[in-house]
């Protein structure tokens, strides 16, 4: 589980490219040269992280999840953040 004090962001100089087809988006990361298939809600999450460093709780709040929904979604968000970090699409703030 990621600590809630940790904040994440998409660096301003990371210019992601994407095309969306219905609820699926393909994102090209120019730093890695790799293309990833993401669901639309993950794109919304990336968009939120482009605005600046955000913690997991603040992110879920930003995306409009109620307190009850946040508890249920925390594990999914944790896993997604971990994956996006692993793929080099987001970075922890303060490194």
Q: Which is nearer to another protein, 43 or 93 (CB)?
A: 43
Tokens of 37: 């298939």
Shortest distance (Å) from residue 33 CB to another protein:
4
Q: Tell me whether residue 27 or residue 56 sits nearer to another protein (CB atom).
A: 27
Q: Kindly state whether residue 30 participates in binding another protein, applying the rule CB under 8 A.
A: yes
The token pair at 67 is: 């307190």
CA distances from 43 to 5, 12, 37, 68 (A): 23, 16, 10, 23
Q: Does 35 bind another protein (CB under 8 A)?
A: yes
CB 55 within 8 A of CB 9: no
Give the number of other CB atoms < 10 A from CB of residue 84.
21
Quick check: 37 binds another protein (CB under 8 A)?
yes
Selected binder of another protein within 11, 17, 47, 69 (CB under 8 A): 17
Given the rule CB under 8 A, which residues bind another protein?
15-22, 24, 26, 28, 30, 33-35, 37
């Amino acid at each position: 589980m990621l600590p809630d004090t940790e904040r994440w962001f998409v660096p301003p100089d990371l210019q992601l490219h994407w095309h969306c087809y219905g609820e699926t988006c393909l994102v090209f990361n120019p730093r890695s040269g790799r293309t990833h298939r993401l669901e639309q809600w993950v794109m919304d999450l990336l968009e939120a992280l482009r605005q600046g460093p955000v913690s997991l709780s603040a992110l879920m709040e930003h995306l409009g999840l109620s307190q009850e929904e946040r508890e249920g979604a925390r594990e999914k968000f944790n896993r997604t953040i971990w994956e996006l970090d692993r793929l080099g699409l987001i970075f922890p703030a303060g490194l």
